[in-house]
Amino acid sequence: MTTAADILNTARSRANEGMPYAGAVTPEEAYALLQVDAAVKLVDVRTNAERDWVGRTDIADTQHGAVQWATYPGGVPNPDFLAQLASCAGKDEVLLFLCRSGVRSRHAAKLATENGYTNCYDILEGFEGDKDADGHRKQVGGWCKAGLPWLGA
């Protein structure tokens, strides 16, 4: 059986690749970690519109936080990101940051780390993954492609 410590050790080993935060997990590792440790939190940094129109992870509300990295419409950086993060997560909690494809989540994990959050991890590939050759998502990597539980729009 894979333990939380095993998953986090693997995630931290990825940080040796120059990540400015604790590490990175695959979607499958993120889900396994959420299952074995109820104290772990997933922080979805996509916009409210993305969660409403595209879908969201189907995990316990006690393990889920939603803090927009950028606002919709316009994609303006959320000036209240850190205050909103503080309202849903403690600085010593294990935080798994999720976005559409893994870009905003990296920025969020970095900013949180720079502001005293000690256990920030990026979820590689994000919720939808990269675009395929036809420009569609959910076909190349990501939470959905991995077959992990999610609720559609």
pLDDT tens, residue by residue, 98-118: 999 989 999 999 999 999 999
Look at the block and give the residue holding tokens 């000036």.
79
What is the distance between the alpha carbons of residues 132 and 134, in angstroms, rounded to a whole number? Answer: 5
pLDDT tens, residue by residue, 8-30: 999 999 887 678 999 999 999 99
pLDDT at 139: 84
For 15, the 3-state DSSP assignment is: helix
pLDDT at 140: 84
Tell me the one-letter amino acid at 141. G
Question: Considering only CA atoms, which of 16, 1, 2, 34 is closest in space to residue 123?
Answer: 34
pLDDT tens, residue by residue, 58-105: 999 999 999 999 999 988 999 999 999 999 999 999 999 999 998 999
Tell me the one-letter amino acid at 63. Q
- CA torsion 67-73-74-75 (nearest 10°) is 20
What is the distance between the alpha carbons of residues 103 and 87, in angstroms, rounded to a whole number? Answer: 23
